[in-house]
Amino acid sequence: MAPTDPEARAALSVDVPAPSEKDGYVSLSFTQLSDFSYETDENGKLLPGAVLPEEIAALDGQDVAVSGYVVPIEFREDKVSGLILVRNQLLCCYGEEPRLNEWVFVEVDPPVEMITEVPVTLFGKFEAAPDEEEGMVISLYRMKADRQEQMDS
C-alpha cells in the first residue's frame, strides 16, 4: 500500500533521470515520454485529442536508452525476459496505476538479472504507437531490449 504521508509520497514519486548519453542510443526520460495528455475512457478507448506528439512519434523504430524501475512479468529460468519499466517507485512498488505514457512494456533478449530496488537503464529498439486489442489500447510504448545496466541509487 502506498504511503499517505505527503513527504514519503513525494520521495517515492521522483522520476528516474534520463540515462547518460551512449553512442548510438537516443537518451529518453519518462518526463519526455509522459509530458502530454494521453488518456482513455473507462472502456479503454482513446479520448479525443489523445495524440502522440511528433517528437515522440519520431522515436518509433529508434535505438533508445531509457531508465526506470522494473516490474518483472515474464521469466526464463531465473532471469527476466519481460517487464514493465515505470517512471518512479510509486508505480513499481506500491501498485499505483500508471497512465499509458508512464510505462514501457519491454521484451529482453537475452534475459537479464532481476533488479527491482534500484533503477536500471535498458537499451534497445523502441516502439511508440498505440497497440490495440478489440478496440482497447493496451500499451503505448514497447521496447525490444538487448541489455540492462544498473543505475547508482
Give the class (CATH, top level) of 19-150: mainly beta
Average pLDDT over every residue of 122-136: 91
Q: How many CA atoms lie within 13 A of 35 on its CB side?
A: 11
Alpha-carbon span 100 to 39, nearest angstrom: 7
Of the chain, the percentage scoring pLDDT greater than 90 comes to 50
pTM for the whole thing? 0.85
Radius of gyration of the chain (CA): 15
Whole-number average pLDDT of the chain: 85
Report which DSSP code applies to 50: -
Q: According to the model, what pLDDT value does residue 1 have?
A: 55
Alpha-carbon span 152 to 136, nearest angstrom: 37
Cβ atoms < 10 Å from Cβ of 60: 14
Q: Does residue 102 come out as left (phi exceeding 0), alpha (psi in the -120 to 50 range) or beta?
A: alpha
Cell of 57: 512519434
